[in-house]
Structure 1
Amino acid sequence: MTPPTHRTWAKRGHTPVIRVRGRSQRRYSIAALTCYKPGERSRLIYRPRRHTDHKQGGRRSFTWTDYRDLLIAAHNQLGGPIVLVWDNLNVHKDRRLRAFIDAHDWITAYHLPPYAPDLNPVEGIWSLLRRSSQANTAFADPEHLIDALRHGLRRLQYRSHIIDGCLTGTGLSLTTPQPKTQ
């Protein structure tokens, strides 16, 4: 675990050193959805997942079933249809996940253009998280890291104005122009 150092200081002439105990083979992933609905507060829905040791045959990231389960949970929590705007992660384009989306009329999926993280509001959430709960922290172990991430995400969950700011930062809007009929 390399600590995400945001700022540091030391006496003049002394280079600051952050000691890290060995590298862990345990890996955590977090998937998140920023949810916007006109007239309601914005929401952040996330799921952390601990992966088994990938050198022993475990997976290093979310599977298509993990994303499917996240979408089902979001649908149940939001109580309505979902218009999903995704980046071009290979799992997001998995044929089984695409078949799941096509089989359900409550979900519509669009993909962002390649290499466009500035259009993804969740990237703003990750940036805020790195600059707040992760900055200048040397995590003792993977559990300390995941606890800090969960705490930071919980703090963001209840600040809808910050989530709205992440959408505003993309330049995208919640409404689409209605097609003109002639």
Structure 2
Amino acid sequence: MSNTAVVSYKWSEKGKQPIISQKQSHRERHTLFGSVNPRTGEVIVQKNDKGNAKTFKKYLKKVLYHYRTIKGKIYMILDNVRFHHANALKPFLTKYKDKIELFFLPPYSPDFNPIERVWWYMRKKICNNRYIESLSERMINFWKLFSNYQKPNYFIINLCNLSYSV
């Protein structure tokens, strides 16, 4: 999540360019780790100042704790960001190999990852055509919206289970 404005579409008078205000300063950002259970619509998110192997491992621990009562294995679909493959994760993943398994998508194929649909929806609702003074204000808006989707729900189920066109 960053503090940059996203221009998607906007009605305006014919021949006049609409203006979206944006604070001109350094780019701020937070890394959000998230996963979604496409069967229940349940979403788990963790905010970090940086995305790296250490913070990703912390997130994996959060997911394991959240699903500590389930029998069977957690299968996570991931993109190929470098820290998802870090050597620092290997001892952790070996230790919990009966509880969690990571699957990596082919490069440049985020459409196959259900959490990407959730991120798309959240960005659309929070960022598109809206001037927000600071990243902290944007994060407050994110957590307000996200609080509606923490528990299992049909909207997220439907969002994640849209048919893929071939």
Q: TM-score range, shorter-chain basis?
A: 0.7 to 0.9
Alignment match, 1:55: none
- The one-letter amino acid paired with 1:167 is C
Alignment match, 1:54: none
1: distance between equivalents of 2:118 and 2:153? 12
- Residue in structure 1 matching 2:129, options 116, 130, 136: 136
Mean alpha-carbon deviation: is it higher for 3-12 or for 123-132? 3-12
- Kindly indicate whether the alpha-carbon contact (under 8 Å) linking 1:119 and 1:170 is maintained by their aligned counterparts in 2: no
2: distance between equivalents of 1:3 and 1:109? 33
SS of residue in 1 equivalent to 2:102: strand
| TM-score (ref. length: structure 1) | 0.76
Higher RCO (Cα < 8 Å, 6 or more apart): 2
Alignment match, 1:88: 80
After the TM superposition, which parts of structure 1 deviate over 4 Å for at least 4 consecutive aligned residues? none
- 1:34 corresponds to 2:36: yes
> How does 1:1-182 map onto structure 2 within 5 Å?
1-36=3-38, 41-49=40-48, 51=49, 61-79=50-68, 80=70, 81-104=73-96, 105-158=98-151, 160-169=153-162
- The one-letter amino acid paired with 1:43 is E
Q: Runs of 5+ in structure 2 lacking a partner?
A: none
- Kindly indicate whether the alpha-carbon contact (under 8 Å) linking 1:87 and 1:114 is maintained by their aligned counterparts in 2: yes
After TM superposition, give the deviation of residue 159 of structure 1 in Å.
5.8
Q: Runs of 5+ in structure 1 lacking a partner?
A: 52-60, 172-182
Larger Rg computed on CA atoms: 1
- The one-letter amino acid paired with 2:78 is W
SS of residue in 2 equivalent to 1:114: coil
